[in-house]
A and B are shown apart, each in its own frame.
Chain A
Amino acid sequence: MSNIRKGLKALLAATAMAVVAASAASASAQTLKVVMHSDLKIIDPIWTTAYIVRNHGYLIYDTLFSMDEKLDVKPQMVDKWDVSADKLTYSFTLRDGLEWHDGKPVTTADVIASIKRWGAKDSMGQKLMSFTKELKAVDAKTFQLVLNEPYGLVLMSLGKPSSNVPFMMPKAVADGDPNTQLSDTTGSGPFIFKKDEWKPGEKVVYVKNPKYKPRAEAANGLSGGKVAKLDRVEWIAMADLQTAVNALSTGEIDMIEVPPHDLLPVLAKDRNVKLFDANPFGNQYTFRFNTLQKPFDDPKVRQAVAYAFNQKDFLDAVIGDAKYYKECKAMFVCGSPLESTKGWDDKLGSNYAKAKELLAAAKYDGTPIVLMQSTDLGVLTNLAPVAKSHLEKAGFKVDMQAMDWQTLVARRAKKDPANAGGWHAFLTSWVSADILNPVMAGFFNSACDKAMFGWPCDEQMEKLRDQFSRETDAAKQKAIAEAAQVRASEFLTHIHLGQWYQPVAMRNNIDGMLSAPVTLFWNITKK
């Protein structure tokens, strides 16, 4: 009997030790469990513009330049750079000690191949390439970008913060067809993608890159030293956000990237959870016209809409709490270097009398406006009913059609008449980092068929965009951007409906999250 007792005691002691050892191991290996805004399906950040893939890219890849908190472009993989007096030749030298995850050194051959792949896909990259005469390696660490004529957005392009980000990849990977999705995830960033642990629909795993050499400067926005303080980051796929909130509350996960606004009061009351607004520039709601379809082919009718709308109603209907939104008439975002309200001061004030006057002048014939409403994304669903209400008060007839976002995305590419499967208008949201100037902001493109869906055709706007991209003086660039905004208020490619903010929810033991337009995982600690 005593032997049995001794055996049981030994077994219990061994079990206890094993449990303690396992706990110690898990405590020493710091793992951050996060529910992101969507599951990662595609792993090539150049092949798609999806934000989840961009965020994945920031973990495993590095960039030549990055933007800091104030949206100033700073060197990242680049150690030093200069530009010739004629502003035609940019020379870049890479930092010492840059290595790919497989241990091979990062060379200028890799960088040039990466820029070319990105330049073939991204709209800003394409623009940069159209000004580029040559990209040549001087040696393994120095390369030159030779331009045909001065171009004012070289550094802004290479430091582009959002999709598609010019991430650097090994030459063997970047040399592949830009229209084919990559399967190789070798990068040189602060984390390594664990492809063997990636279970689509379940979790995505990244581990710290022990060889990564961060810059000496402190982390600042997307720039500065990217110090990975976590051993492991796990993105947990969770379709239901209520479940995610419950899991955060019980400590099963550490962070929710985009907690829904209606659950923020619940999270704010939880003593174990804190909210952090990581993106001070937020997002911007936008109403997009299809300028091919009557009556929106007439700028006067589009102006009537701008007079009928007011931003507050839209923001109240979706975000609700004024703490998380801001009325802002600056098309290039409030708080950014190009902030201005010029051209918009008399609009967005629900001036229905003026709207009716413009409709009468345009001889609007009562054609119903086909307004596409996305019903499956919480941050968009309530926008269309508000738009419908304002449009009707201004004298429009509105046919609001409900559909899921993917149907809307497919339908907005159609140029068919609105009553034959086409459309007149829809509402969406932009991350502010994507709309900081008239070249970057896709809806300003007014190059007819080459413009984004809605296909505005305006020679004057295209001239201004062209001038902006050629201008290398910041003050003059600001004046051109202001002129583009004024032109946009007359021609109206789209209407901006205010800025809104999305706090991240995290457990109290998580610290060090950086303010940036992208959710970043370096610098974060878990106590």
Chain B
Amino acid sequence: MLDFIARRLIAIVPVLGLVAVFVFLMLRLTPGDPAAVIAGDNATNEQIAAIRAQLGLDEPLLKQFVIWIGKVLQGDFGESYFFKKTVASLILQRVEPTLALSLCAIVFAVSVAVPLGVIAAYKHGSLIDRGVMAFSVVGFSMPVFVIGYLLIYVFAIELELLPVQGYRRFGEDVGLFFRHIALPSVTVSVIYIALIARITRTSVLEVMNEDYIRTARAKGLSDVVVLMRHALRNAAVPILTVIGLGIAVLIGGAVVTESVYGLPGLGRLTVEAVLSRDYPTLQAVILLFSGIYVFINLAIDIGYTLLDPRIRY
């Protein structure tokens, strides 16, 4: 197992290396010029050229890459072209809202979706089952921003229960933190709930026809024990896979959700960096997201062994 983890950790290096090269090239090949953005709309060509030279953007591409990757290898992601701040400090400042949103959404989604899926499987063909499946279809089909605006309209504007926008840090005020993160978490978790509930239902239904379930029933075990102890555990591997893969959906959804709710997170930082062509920030954020994906996949693989003792690496 340790060998497997070590091998996977070593494999991360070339993956992130390729991502770094790809991101660097993609950004440089994308139309747009950060110097022109910085200089502003009324700037002359001379002003733009002076800023380009100052940022080192007039250097050959290879030289720019070598300088950047050299710094990254030393743990220095550079300074944002716009803010007089290091990229690391910008990311640190923005990481909490995204982390909070992701964690709250995952916890909420899993706690709602897994029981829903199990109940739907148990009550296969019933109204409850059809209801869960209908919710799944709607959850998948409805864009995140539509869900966001609907929830804002109902809970913030009409009922005045929760704020429309903004974020309060957990350390500042726990109550306000939860008031501000509630609607965004529910918004982003809808699609996630739909995904997990559907897969949970299918996986549980599949194992419910297995011989060992029939044996468990024949032994006189109650439905709840059969479901929770035998069916769900054996159905857990595909569910865990979907939860892991769903984090990709979650991060994608976070970009939109953070905009709709005015959360100052990494999703919005990414969008702002794209729009303003802030290469150092964008490169660092994409590398960070890539690293997170790789580690999530590793964590899922390790999780398989805990859920299914037959799986060994």
* Chain A 32-85 interface residues, beta-carbon cutoff 8 Å to B: 39, 41-43, 47-51, 53
Q: Is the CB of A199 within 8 A of B38?
A: no
Residues of A contacting B83 in the complex (Cβ-Cβ under 8 angstroms): 41-42, 200
CB distance from B195 to the nearest CB of A (A): 25
CB distance from A302 to the nearest CB of B (A): 21
Which one of A180, A199, A376, A413 lies within 8 Å of B33 (CB-CB)?
A413
The stretch among A145-153, A206-214, A238-246 that forms the contact with chain B is A238-246
Residues of A contacting B33 in the complex (Cβ-Cβ under 8 angstroms): 406, 409-410, 413
Residues of A contacting B157 in the complex (Cβ-Cβ under 8 angstroms): 246, 249-250
Docked Cα-Cα span, A200 to B259, in Å, equals 14
Docked Cα-Cα span, A242 to B145, in Å, equals 11
Q: Is the CB of B152 within 8 A of A407?
A: no
Interface flags, A442-456, vs B, CB<8A=1, else 0: 100000001011000
Chain B contact residues: over half helix, strand or loop, or mixed?
A: helix
Number of residues on chain A facing chain B (CB within 8 A)? 49
Quick check: is A202 within 8 A (CB to CB) of the other chain?
yes
Residues of B contacting A294 in the complex (Cβ-Cβ under 8 angstroms): none
Question: Known interface pairs A43-B84, A121-B47, A250-B164. Does A406 touch B36 (Cβ–Cβ under 8 Å)?
Answer: yes
Q: Is the CB of A200 within 8 A of B90?
A: yes
The stretch among B11-19, B205-213, B267-275 that forms the contact with chain A is B267-275
Residues of B contacting A180 in the complex (Cβ-Cβ under 8 angstroms): 54
Q: Is the CB of A199 within 8 A of B51?
A: no
Q: Is the CB of A410 within 8 A of B31?
A: yes
Docked Cα-Cα span, A501 to B256, in Å, equals 30
Docked Cα-Cα span, A138 to B275, in Å, equals 48
Q: Is the CB of A407 within 8 A of B32?
A: yes
Residues of B contacting A181 in the complex (Cβ-Cβ under 8 angstroms): 84
Quick check: is B140 within 8 A (CB to CB) of the other chain?
no
Q: Is the CB of B42 within 8 A of A434?
A: yes
Q: Is the CB of A239 within 8 A of B51?
A: no
Docked Cα-Cα span, A403 to B32, in Å, equals 10
Q: Is the CB of A48 within 8 A of B39?
A: yes
Q: Which of A181, A202, A376, A450 has most B Cβ within 10 Å?
A: A202
**B33 (CB) vs chain A CBs: closest residue:** A410
Quick check: is B163 within 8 A (CB to CB) of the other chain?
yes
Docked Cα-Cα span, A51 to B94, in Å, equals 25
Question: Known interface pairs A243-B152, A250-B157, A252-B166. Does A237 touch B42 (Cβ–Cβ under 8 Å)?
Answer: no
Interface flags, B76-89, vs A, CB<8A=1, else 0: 00001011110000
Category for how many chain B residues contact A: 35 or more
Q: Which of B83, B152, B153 has most A Cβ within 10 Å?
A: B83
**A376 (CB) vs chain B CBs: closest residue:** B275
Residues of A contacting B51 in the complex (Cβ-Cβ under 8 angstroms): 47, 179
Quick check: is B48 within 8 A (CB to CB) of the other chain?
yes
Question: Known interface pairs A42-B38, A50-B41, A123-B44. Does A179 touch B50 (Cβ–Cβ under 8 Å)?
Answer: yes
Quick check: is A335 within 8 A (CB to CB) of the other chain?
no
Which one of A53, A199, A200, A236 lies within 8 Å of B262 (CB-CB)?
A236
Docked Cα-Cα span, A453 to B39, in Å, equals 14
Quick check: is B202 within 8 A (CB to CB) of the other chain?
no
CB distance from B42 to the nearest CB of A (A): 4
Q: Is the CB of A406 within 8 A of B32?
A: yes
Q: Is the CB of B47 within 8 A of A246?
A: no
Q: Is the CB of B264 within 8 A of A201?
A: yes
Quick check: is A28 within 8 A (CB to CB) of the other chain?
no
**A412 (CB) vs chain B CBs: closest residue:** B36
Question: Known interface pairs A42-B82, A43-B84, A239-B259. Does A199 touch B264 (Cβ–Cβ under 8 Å)?
Answer: yes
CB distance from B141 to the nearest CB of A (A): 21
Quick check: is B24 within 8 A (CB to CB) of the other chain?
no
**B47 (CB) vs chain A CBs: closest residue:** A121
Q: Which of A39, A48, A181, A183 has most B Cβ within 10 Å?
A: A48
Q: Is the CB of A247 within 8 A of B165?
A: yes
Residues of B contacting A201 in the complex (Cβ-Cβ under 8 angstroms): 93-94, 264, 268-269, 272
Q: Is the CB of A442 within 8 A of B275?
A: no
Interface flags, B144-185, vs A, CB<8A=1, else 0: 000001001100110010011111000000000000000000
CB distance from B270 to the nearest CB of A (A): 11
Q: Which of A49, A121, A181, A200 has most B Cβ within 10 Å?
A: A200
A-B contact count (CB 8 A): 131
Q: Is the CB of B38 within 8 A of A48?
A: yes
Residues of B contacting A365 in the complex (Cβ-Cβ under 8 angstroms): none
CB distance from A438 to the nearest CB of B (A): 15
Residues of A contacting B166 in the complex (Cβ-Cβ under 8 angstroms): 236, 247, 252
Q: Is the CB of B45 within 8 A of A453?
A: yes
Which one of B32, B165, B167, B276 lies within 8 Å of A252 (CB-CB)?
B165
Quick check: is B43 within 8 A (CB to CB) of the other chain?
yes
Q: Is the CB of B54 within 8 A of A243?
A: no
CB distance from B158 to the nearest CB of A (A): 10
Question: Known interface pairs A199-B93, A239-B262, A246-B165. Does A48 touch B40 (Cβ–Cβ under 8 Å)?
Answer: yes
Q: Is the CB of B165 within 8 A of A238?
A: yes
CB distance from A14 to the nearest CB of B (A): 17
Docked Cα-Cα span, A200 to B82, in Å, equals 10
* Chain B 244-277 interface residues, beta-carbon cutoff 8 Å to A: 258-262, 264, 268-269, 271-272, 275-277
Q: Which of A123, A179, A413 has most B Cβ within 10 Å?
A: A413
Q: Is the CB of A246 within 8 A of B156?
A: yes
Quick check: is A163 within 8 A (CB to CB) of the other chain?
yes
Docked Cα-Cα span, A403 to B165, in Å, equals 30
Question: Known interface pairs A246-B165, A453-B45. Does A41 touch B276 (Cβ–Cβ under 8 Å)?
Answer: yes
Which one of B45, B94, B260, B276 lies within 8 Å of A406 (CB-CB)?
B276
**A453 (CB) vs chain B CBs: closest residue:** B45
* Chain A 375-421 interface residues, beta-carbon cutoff 8 Å to B: 376, 403-404, 406-407, 409-411, 413
**A163 (CB) vs chain B CBs: closest residue:** B42
Residues of A contacting B37 in the complex (Cβ-Cβ under 8 angstroms): 406, 409
Quick check: is A525 within 8 A (CB to CB) of the other chain?
no
Residues of A contacting B40 in the complex (Cβ-Cβ under 8 angstroms): 48-51, 53, 163
Q: Is the CB of A237 within 8 A of B38?
A: no
Docked Cα-Cα span, A240 to B164, in Å, equals 12
* Chain A 418-436 interface residues, beta-carbon cutoff 8 Å to B: 428, 434
**B149 (CB) vs chain A CBs: closest residue:** A242
CB distance from A445 to the nearest CB of B (A): 9
**A247 (CB) vs chain B CBs: closest residue:** B164
Question: Known interface pairs A47-B38, A201-B268. Does A250 touch B160 (Cβ–Cβ under 8 Å)?
Answer: yes
A-B contact sample (17 more), CB < 8 A, given A41-B82, A202-B167, A246-B153: A42-B38, A49-B41, A50-B41, A53-B40, A123-B44, A199-B93, A201-B93, A236-B262, A238-B165, A243-B260, A244-B262, A246-B165, A247-B164, A250-B157, A252-B164, A409-B41, A410-B36
List A residues at the B interface (Cβ < 8 Å). Answer: 39, 41-43, 47-51, 53, 121, 123, 163, 179-181, 183, 199-202, 236-240, 242-244, 246-247, 249-250, 252, 376, 403-404, 406-407, 409-411, 413, 428, 434, 442, 450, 452-453
List B residues at the A interface (Cβ < 8 Å). Answer: 31-33, 36-45, 47-48, 50-51, 54, 80, 82-85, 90, 93-94, 149, 152-153, 156-157, 160, 163-167, 258-262, 264, 268-269, 271-272, 275-277
Interface pairs (25), CB distance under 8 Å: A41-B80, A42-B83, A47-B38, A47-B51, A49-B41, A49-B42, A179-B51, A200-B83, A200-B90, A201-B93, A202-B264, A242-B149, A243-B260, A243-B262, A247-B164, A247-B262, A403-B31, A404-B32, A406-B36, A409-B32, A409-B36, A410-B33, A413-B36, A442-B42, A453-B45
State the 10 A-B residue pairs at the shortest beta-carbon distance, nearest first.
A49-B40, A410-B33, A41-B82, A202-B264, A49-B42, A50-B40, A407-B31, A239-B259, A246-B164, A409-B36
